[in-house]
Amino acid sequence: MATLDGRQLTSKTMRRSDPKPVRAPARSLRTCVLISTVRSLEYVLFVLRLALLTSDEPPPASFVGLDIGTGASAIYPLLAVRTAESASSSSTSTFPPLKMLATDINDHSLDFAKRNVAANDLTEAIQLFKVDEEGAIFPEEVVNSVERIDFTMSNPPFYDSHEEIAASLAKKELEPFAKCTGADNEMVTPGGEVAFVSRMVEESLSLGKHKIRWLTSLLGKYSSISPLVDLLKSKKILNYHVHALPPHGYTTRWVLSWSLQDRRFPLVRSLSILSVYRLKS
């Protein structure tokens, strides 16, 4: 089994392969301290391991990832491709070349994302798509642009309304330095992250078990885990995991992953630094 050493890659990626400084509009959430490069890299490392440790033996010639709502910085695709490159050149890791697809509903954000991808010389490895806000999360033109997608990533808006954001700040659910501004589509979505990820679950069923191996989403609220796990169980999706990323200050984020395929995520010692735990089905 090929390996992906998170501790080595974190150090190496941050020193040598970190994307060149990205540009973003002033009101882009990606400029906020809340979504730090370190936390983004932790999520990236997790999904890359997930793809690798559940792949065929030997691993395929290449992997494909999909970032839903990539934002102005396109930080997940940039970090994912650079990290995969670092792993491929490591003497202790073997990782196939990675292609990233990335979608967004905002023309302004996509314009900046294109500039950032070009500035990092990754136009061949990262393909950007404008999608309809009222359309599918996984549009046919995106998922059918490749034969198979190995993993998806998403950092959906946490909140249902601006009033909910204000209430969370009043209750100090957000760290003092985490208060930030962003485009409305980055901050708020009807029903919050539970509604958005629920749509992802429903659409994953319509796509079938062979098109996407693993679907994942970052969760910003612990209270979101239970209703989403209940939804997965109600849909007979029992191959799922919840992963707590390392906390930063008082802030913890979680990654919900599920698959319609049978191969499960092995809980091996090399993953312990991610504080991985699995909810009982």
What is the pLDDT at residue 174?
47
Comparing C-alpha atoms, which of 70, 90, 42 is closest to residue 185?
70
Higher pLDDT, 185 or 256: 256
Of 63-67, 157-161, 243-247, least confident by mean pLDDT is 157-161
Higher pLDDT, 271 or 228: 228
In angstroms, how far is CA 237 from the centroid of its own chain? 20
- The per-residue pLDDT for range 185-238, each reduced to its tens digit, is 455 567 789 999 999 999 999 999 999 999 999 999 999 999 999 999 999 999
Q: What is the pLDDT of residue 9?
A: 44
Does 160 score more than 60 pLDDT? Answer: no
Sign, CA torsion 120/123/126/128? positive
Instruction: Show the domains of the chain with their CATH numbers.
Output: 6-277 (3.40.50.150)
Query: Rounded mean pLDDT of 135-148?
Result: 97
Please answer whether residues 154 and 67 qualify as being in contact, where contact means their C-beta atoms are separated by less than 8 angstroms.
yes
| CA–CA dist 224, 227 (Å, integer) | 6
Over residues 125-136, mean pLDDT: 96
Please give the Cα distance from 5 to 48 (Å, whole number).
11
Global confidence as pTM = 0.79
Q: Find residue 256's DSSP bridge partners.
A: 217, 242
